[in-house]
A and B are shown apart, each in its own frame.
Chain A
């Protein structure tokens, strides 16, 4: 589904990603962990198509296509979804209008007619229930005045509405209390099916108590320095990141 090969990227001339290779197959959940400043969010930004990140080397292939040549909106319509670490507040734009426009853009891309008003509202209702989001939130402006937890739940709600093939969740767990964390994780688990994949970016292991990854990668200083099964997350939780840092430094010295 997604093949990243030796990806290097910089922001404002500063090199952030220093050669990342990664393959995600349909149905897999990949967790990307790592200390602050290791490049996790930059990787998410590159995949979603943010223009301020400059790709200097490497390739990203998504279902056989060159992802890096696609506009952000086209990536979305091809099934990529980014759950934002800091969802944006957009006063004056209602959630309903926002989602209706997005869903119908996706449908147009697939050659389908726009949803009727009643079908759309039914879809909203179903997905709200699925992700346990407060009904009232959908009547407000996009993220305006939402609490941190509500914003993150709203990301999961949008994901449910758009039914992506590859969802990248950028620190969706940060700032969540345990109830909100559970709701977010349940949402992911309910939306999981054999054909779609997730890249879950997280700083802490606790989200992975609820979302069980197939593969765990550790990103450090712009490189993936370790890849293993879900047990790696537990080891990181227990020992922190220092032992990995040391391991790398030792390797460099040696």
Chain B
């Protein structure tokens, strides 16, 4: 026994069998990260319930499965992806579609928007914007504990690249639609790099969809650099079928006086794990981390948040909520680390969950590590049923119990949704959440998969 699990061995083999193919389509710089990352992955392995950060999430059912290798998409695959249109009314965005983690070859691989903004393929950007790329790629996605981050670095070859130059405000959000669609079960990994230079201002929407009913496993890593005094929002909307597993690892690096918000809205998905790392790497930075999930049947949704206060006078706020129906399960891990130098830190965390049945289960784990003296920190977690007093208050005005419950659940969810600043998206999310709570299907209209 060498201590590695069989599952881990399987992914080490996958690397060995395909590394030539993967390296062939990537820049030497990206390739230079692969061998060290594989070594790290080999040490850490596929996370199991023995890992503290994955204590409540069992990945085996998705990782211990034979997927078709998918390292180079065919042009015919993209024909389908090109047909995809986001149907959110009045949502005007700069759109990008990723199919199974790859940027379509059909059009230009990088697009220039006004004011020197570039969006497009990560693999292409590694060559065309070598200097900028090499300054940031691989700098923020660091984990001493999570093997999946390293597995991604070892094998991912494409994804989204977004570059906003200094001082530029992009009025329309960038929207990335991640589509998964294949004739066989597939495992895919993609890698995104988002660079918001000093004094820039923009937001990005990432939508995760599954378009065919096969079993899917996605392991993605997104690195985000937010320069001094920049404003950046990321909103992720997840709507996948029950046979899909989505793992997202988002690393947000903030410089001085920058402000970011992250909002993960999980409407539907078999197994979802969102790890969001906020690094407050300069004085006066502010970070807001929100999350909402609605789970039913056997779904499992896990949000892991790590907020690292490394400099003085930074503010962070976490608000994560979950509504769990049937026998669904959920987990929340929220870590706040206040380093010794981070005096004057304000750090808040709240996690509230509603269990609608006796079989649903939620594990909530706050973790505060504080090494500075002048710090204001608070955290609170609740797992419970709907508030009886509030329910009665609504009923006492003539609203029937079923409707009153729905209103309370909607209100509960809206507290997270209301932080989405893009109005058409916020309204759409409210509608989808309402439909989901009513038990109607909340999939976006163009989704062909009959979820549930």
Q: Chain B residue with minimal CB distance to A105?
A: B398
Proximity string of chain B (295-311) to chain A, C-beta cutoff 8 Å, 1 when within and 0 when not = 00000000000000000
Say yes or no: A73 contacts B400, CB within 8 Å. yes
Q: Which of B392, B407, B415, B418 contacts A101 (CB 8 A)?
A: B407
Instruction: Collect the chain A residues with CB atoms within 8 Å of residue B389's CB.
Output: 88
Contacting B at CB under 8 A, from A86-125, are 87-88, 90-93, 97-98, 101-102, 105-106, 109
Say yes or no: B399 contacts A105, CB within 8 Å. yes
> What is the bound-complex CA distance between A141 and B394, given in angstroms?
13
A-B contact count (CB 8 A): 77
Interface footprint category on A: 20 to 34
Say yes or no: B396 contacts A72, CB within 8 Å. yes
Looking at the assembled complex, report how far the CB atom of A171 sits from the nearest CB atom of chain B, in whole angstroms. 16
Instruction: Collect the chain A residues with CB atoms within 8 Å of residue B395's CB.
Output: 49, 71-73, 76
Q: Chain B residue with minimal CB distance to A91?
A: B415
Looking at the assembled complex, report how far the CB atom of A45 sits from the nearest CB atom of chain B, in whole angstroms. 9
Looking at the assembled complex, report how far the CB atom of A145 sits from the nearest CB atom of chain B, in whole angstroms. 13
Proximity string of chain A (46-57) to chain B, C-beta cutoff 8 Å, 1 when within and 0 when not = 001111000000
Assess whether A29 is interfacial by the CB under 8 Å rule: no
Assess whether B413 is interfacial by the CB under 8 Å rule: yes
Say yes or no: B407 contacts A93, CB within 8 Å. yes
Assess whether A241 is interfacial by the CB under 8 Å rule: no
Q: Given known contacts A49-B396, A98-B407, A105-B400, is B390 in contact with A92 (CB within 8 Å)? A: no
> What is the bound-complex CA distance between A124 and B310, given in angstroms?
50
Instruction: Collect the chain B residues with CB atoms within 8 Å of residue A84's CB.
Output: 393, 396
- The B interface is mostly helix, strand or loop, or mixed, namely helix
Say yes or no: A92 contacts B393, CB within 8 Å. no
Instruction: Collect the chain A residues with CB atoms within 8 Å of residue B407's CB.
Output: 93, 97-98, 101
> What is the bound-complex CA distance between A249 and B85, given in angstroms?
80
Instruction: Collect the chain B residues with CB atoms within 8 Å of residue A141's CB.
Output: 411
> What is the bound-complex CA distance between A133 and B52, given in angstroms?
52
> What is the bound-complex CA distance between A92 and B418, given in angstroms?
8
Say yes or no: B410 contacts A93, CB within 8 Å. yes
Instruction: Collect the chain B residues with CB atoms within 8 Å of residue A101's CB.
Output: 399, 403, 407
Q: Given known contacts A72-B395, A76-B395, A97-B407, is B400 in contact with A90 (CB within 8 Å)? A: no
Instruction: Collect the chain B residues with CB atoms within 8 Å of residue A81's CB.
Output: 396
> What is the bound-complex CA distance between A73 and B407, given in angstroms?
15
Q: Which of A73, A77, A90, A92 contacts B413 (CB 8 A)?
A: A92
Assess whether B408 is interfacial by the CB under 8 Å rule: yes
Assess whether B401 is interfacial by the CB under 8 Å rule: yes
Q: Which of B392, B394, B418 contacts A50 (CB 8 A)?
A: B392
Q: Chain B residue with minimal CB distance to A141?
A: B411
Instruction: Collect the chain A residues with CB atoms within 8 Å of residue B404's CB.
Output: 73
Say yes or no: B412 contacts A73, CB within 8 Å. no
> What is the bound-complex CA distance between A82 and B403, given in angstroms?
19
Looking at the assembled complex, report how far the CB atom of A199 sits from the nearest CB atom of chain B, in whole angstroms. 15
Q: Chain A residue with minimal CB distance to B417?
A: A92
Assess whether A158 is interfacial by the CB under 8 Å rule: yes
Q: Which of A73, A87, A92, A106 contacts B411 (CB 8 A)?
A: A92
Contacting B at CB under 8 A, from A64-89, are 71-73, 75-77, 81-82, 84, 87-88
Say yes or no: B401 contacts A102, CB within 8 Å. no
Assess whether A200 is interfacial by the CB under 8 Å rule: no
Assess whether A216 is interfacial by the CB under 8 Å rule: no
Q: Given known contacts A90-B390, A93-B407, is B398 in contact with A77 (CB within 8 Å)? A: yes
Instruction: Collect the chain A residues with CB atoms within 8 Å of residue B394's CB.
Output: 90, 93, 98, 102
Looking at the assembled complex, report how far the CB atom of B39 sits from the nearest CB atom of chain A, in whole angstroms. 48
> What is the bound-complex CA distance between A109 and B400, given in angstroms?
11
Assess whether B414 is interfacial by the CB under 8 Å rule: yes
Assess whether A162 is interfacial by the CB under 8 Å rule: yes
- Pick 21 A–B contacts, CB within 8 A, sort by A: A72-B392, A72-B395, A72-B396, A73-B396, A73-B397, A76-B395, A81-B396, A87-B393, A90-B390, A91-B415, A92-B413, A93-B394, A93-B407, A93-B410, A93-B414, A97-B407, A101-B403, A102-B394, A106-B398, A162-B397, A162-B398
Chain A residues with CB under 8 Å of chain B are: 48-51, 71-73, 75-77, 81-82, 84, 87-88, 90-93, 97-98, 101-102, 105-106, 109, 141-142, 158, 162
Q: Pick the 3 closest A-B CB pairs, nearest first.
A: A92-B411, A76-B398, A93-B411
